[in-house]
Structure 1
Amino acid sequence: MQTMLVAILALVPMLVGAQTSVTTSGFQVQNLSETTAAQITIRYYSAANGAEVASQEATIPAGGSLTFLDGGGGTVAMSVPAGFRGSVVIESDQPVVAITNLVGVQGNISVGEAYSGFNAGYSSVSLPLIMRGNFGFNTTIIVQNTGTAATSVTVRYTPGVAGTAGTQTANIQPGASATFTQATNNALGERFVGSAVVEAASGGSIVAAVVQDGNNTLASYSGFDANVTPSAVAVPLLVANNFGGTTGLQIQNNGNEATTVTVTYTPNTATTPAGTFQPCGAPQASTFQLPAGASVTTIQGAGSANEGFDTQFANCRYVGGATVTSNNNQPLTAVVNQSFGASFSAYEGFQVSSATGEVRAPLVVSNNFGGTTGIQVQNVGTSATQVTISFGPNTVSGDGTCATPQSRTISLPAGSSATRIQAGGAAADGFDDQFATCRYVGSAKIEAASGGQIVAIVNQTAALTDGLFTYNTFGQ
């Protein structure tokens, strides 16, 4: 039986209001088998002591998915007691993947975000972007003990743009989690922008996620296995002046040596203006010198170079991606922050060496109470490939719902990326009109032609003030 770890950060506001703005959460589980229904058992563990407080069983059709929330709108109600805050472990007799959606409130503003689940624990975790007092933004680190025995963990902070190095420690029972709140950690300095590594004691197994709060927005990302050695990282979506959208790329050197990092951008897929911003030409690659353990920020927009802004994107529109490489094979990790108007989200960079020919997206929607998704696919291989997006069965029914959507095929040159949005709109911007007027809640399989290597993310929009949710797809 396969086990999928999904760290659910919060379900009740009174337990987390002092730590993050997250007030509730739900999760989506996708059955990767296309021939056999998955029988799953969901176990809920208390963040305080690791005790199993509830469980439930469910069946997911072959190739299908289920959403666990409150039982409304086609979702399955989570069998948890009132006041639950903790984590989830999903056991299945078929391969599954899962993501978490987070919803919260800052003041009277509704905010949301998503992140991908884990299928294994690590001895140490890399966190490329950690902040305290950064123009209104703060982060919170949540560490879960996925082992069978209690373990101690140490968080080591390394400043980048600003701040002071430091450490924090905690003891965590099996299944339980510990929260490290940077907003109250005065030792980091008045302003901290940098990175962190979380280390478990010998034999320990942990996972970690980071929640970013501030300025009426919410973002989150999953931590990386600090013991892997990717010297090339792919980020499928970077934008500049894209109808109010901008991204920032944070890169961390996890090696023992200094390195020269190069960010090589994919061709611009934007062919039409966004307001007064005409499409950018081919972006120039950027290089950075990174000491061991250090991090750097590069923002695709107008601003001070001292704060990491790349001014080649200041006055033009860009929609693409990038590959990040080390000149001496030092291990790198990366996180991308996206801002679109009042919305904000984050996602993790992908190891190029682990790219596959097939990835899975547990949640894809159209017209779902104001929610829509967009899939961004990057070809990280060395030759052109055909990429096919196949959609799973619709999990909702009734008037106005879509039939099972038709698959879509994209031609992707080597090193390029493309967007497909499940909504009506201009085809030049990647919109798919088959979703224009119907409701869909399902999943997707994204496949490259034989020998192709791809990575992908999914952006979700929802009817919230900060309604941007982003998660990484799962390579198969």
Structure 2
Amino acid sequence: MRRLLNLFLAIAALLIAAHSAIPVRAQGSAYNTNFITSITYQNVGTAMANITFTFYPTSGSPISFNRTLAANAGASLNVGQASELSGFSGQGSAVISSDQPIVATIVQIPQSTSVRNRPLSNGFGSNDGSNNVLIATVLKNTFNQTTKFSIQNADSTSVNATLRFFPVGSATPIYTETFSLNVGTARFFDAGTIPQLGSSFNGSAIIQASGKVVATAIEATTDSSYKVSAFEGVAQGSNTIYMPSALCNFGTTVQRTAYAVQNTSTSNSATVTVTYKDLNNSTVATQTATIPAGAKQSFLTCSASGIPSNFNGSATITSTGAPIVAIGKVFSGSPSFAALGTAFVGASAGASKLAAPYVRWTQTRFDINPGNRQRAFIAIQNVGTGPSGTITVKYYGLDGTLIGTHTLSSINPGQKTNSNPKAATLAAGQTQDKLDEFGYIGGFGGSATIECANSGCQIVAVVRIASANSATNPADIVAEDYNGIPIN
């Protein structure tokens, strides 16, 4: 899970397109859709933050400019609307520096009337870069999906990197490419345009570099389902991975989860067990498999023997032998909701306090016309060894003012609970409309912090941002997930 961004933030930003370079139009698939990036950032420090944004185009000189942000505040920078970036278009990356600790989530806004989902991925702290980064799932024309990803230099000098693609079940790479990166810049890869992967590919990727790098991926459908999601590369594996969201045929939209688990070792196999727990913290099912070195394995929640229908719970993935990384995915089991698809990184550890830079809620305009407003749902899992103690979720407005607080009862190890802005109790001096339309009143921006009370408590969280996909069917939604970011 991403750590606190203390004075420096590196962002592997995919598919940045500025201003009117790309017209809004219907396109043949999510894979062919263009995006404009919006950076949603939150000051988790105690004073006004003085922030510098530096953007690196794929060619040409970097562009830098400054912003300020009050303590506890969350704001957004739309790359397509910032006057300082009027000459910036195409693909690129960015680095943010600040005199206060900040966190950020990258929002990709589709330039299409068909794709309604906004892929989300977190930024990286100055300590998050690594010489070895893993992308747990890479697809090419598989499950009607193809992966695009970027690799960014997060070091202070140029780096040389080697990228290897591993098919499912294989410890031998099918394709290897070497390249170099200048400071702050990124290299972009589209699995759909790499002939060495064949006509289709299902596997994973490993990046090894002479210095620190980070990576971010977008996975998009190649058919008319218009489904798209994003997730980060992971620098280090673990023998325990936590998934706050585990679903089987849940709700009207028939939501299901799948976990793409990658063996981080290039020489040793990993024996993996997925344990599912319901909201009462009872174990309801398990799955096991052995994953060869460097390879990946998918676990479908609904395929676990004994899993109940309409299941809503959490999962813990453990490995004997080699460490693992994992990506969680949520999708619908019904063709009526084919556009529903999310992705998030499984957490290897928790923290007592988390930040959620991008939180929105609309009570009255959750539709495709006229508002395109969104709703945030926060799934919180206790990954510590004892009860969490009271969990407090604080919702902050654009200027850092506390709008409301949601107080949740203690949960046991492995158990999960949920929050959203509408469930919060209004703060003194605030008006109900600021919770009913959280993040939309008085300007565009809202964020949250999530904290557990017991000494030594450890929690993780996944934030789901949902949008309407139909003007007539309120159950027809699209959504995307991102991880809560540890503050301490």
Q: Indicate the TM-score class for this superposition, using the shorter chain for normalisation.
A: 0.7 to 0.9
The letter of the residue matching 2:358 is L
Contact 2:360 2:437 survives alignment (8 Å):
no
2:250 counterpart of 1:242: yes
Matches within 5 A, 1:225-236: 225=235, 228-236=236-244
Contact 1:150 1:171 survives alignment (8 Å):
yes
Aligned with residue 180 of structure 2, among 166, 171, 178? 171
2:331 counterpart of 1:351: no
Percent identity (aligned): 24
Matches within 5 A, 1:371-382: 371-382=374-385
2:425 counterpart of 1:417: no
Cα 1:335–1:211 shift into 2, 3 Å = same
What is residue 27 of structure 1 aligned with on the other side? 39
2:49 counterpart of 1:60: no
The letter of the residue matching 2:121 is Y
Cα shift at 1:172? 2.5
In structure 1, list runs of 5 or more residues that go unmatched: 271-280, 302-308, 426-432
2:330 counterpart of 1:338: yes
Deviations 1:402-444 (A, max 9, x none): 971133223211111112133479xxxxxxx998733334211
Matches within 5 A, 1:48-447: 48=59, 51-52=61-62, 54-69=63-78, 77=82, 79-84=84-89, 85-105=91-111, 108-120=114-126, 121-160=129-168, 165-200=174-209, 202=210, 204-214=211-221, 215-225=225-235, 228-243=236-251, 244=253, 245-255=255-265, 256-268=267-279, 282-301=283-302, 309-310=303-304, 312-313=306-307, 316-328=309-321, 330-340=322-332, 341=337, 342-352=339-349, 355-367=350-362, 369=371, 370-395=373-398, 404-423=403-422, 437-440=436-439, 441-447=445-451
Q: Distance in 1 between matches of 2:83 and 2:133?
A: 29
Deviations 1:141-165 (A, max 9, x none): 2111223433332211111169972
Q: Distance in 2 between matches of 1:128 and 1:230?
A: 13
The letter of the residue matching 1:454 is I
The letter of the residue matching 2:141 is G
2:456 counterpart of 1:451: yes
Contact 1:97 1:474 survives alignment (8 Å):
yes
Q: TM-score by structure 1 length?
A: 0.83
In structure 2, list runs of 5 or more residues that go unmatched: 1-5, 366-370, 425-431, 440-444, 471-476
Aligned with residue 38 of structure 1, among 22, 29, 49? 49
Cα 1:471–1:78 shift into 2, 3 Å = farther
The letter of the residue matching 2:198 is G
Secondary structure of residue in 1 paired with 2:117: strand
Count of residues paired in the alignment: 433
Q: Distance in 2 between matches of 1:220 and 1:133?
A: 17
Cα shift at 1:357? 1.2
Cα shift at 1:123? 0.9
Greater alpha carbon shift after TM alignment, 362-371 vs 15-24? 15-24
Contact 1:64 1:392 survives alignment (8 Å):
no
Cα 1:443–1:389 shift into 2, 3 Å = farther
Q: Distance in 2 between matches of 1:474 and 1:439?
A: 20
The letter of the residue matching 2:132 is S
Secondary structure of residue in 2 paired with 1:407: strand
Deviations 1:330-388 (A, max 9, x none): 22100011125222221101113xx2211111121111842110111110112212242
Contact 1:405 1:434 survives alignment (8 Å):
no
Greater alpha carbon shift after TM alignment, 244-253 vs 172-181? 172-181
Deviations 1:246-276 (A, max 9, x none): 1110111112311211111122469xxxxxx
The letter of the residue matching 2:310 is R
Q: Distance in 1 between matches of 2:178 and 2:31?
A: 17
What is residue 429 of structure 2 aligned with on the other side? none
Q: Distance in 1 between matches of 2:116 and 2:83?
A: 22
Cα 1:154–1:107 shift into 2, 3 Å = farther
The letter of the residue matching 1:206 is V
Contact 1:101 1:469 survives alignment (8 Å):
no
RMSD over aligned CA atoms reads 3.0
Cα 1:139–1:107 shift into 2, 3 Å = farther
Cα shift at 1:59? 1.6
Cα 1:194–1:106 shift into 2, 3 Å = farther
Secondary structure of residue in 2 paired with 1:383: coil
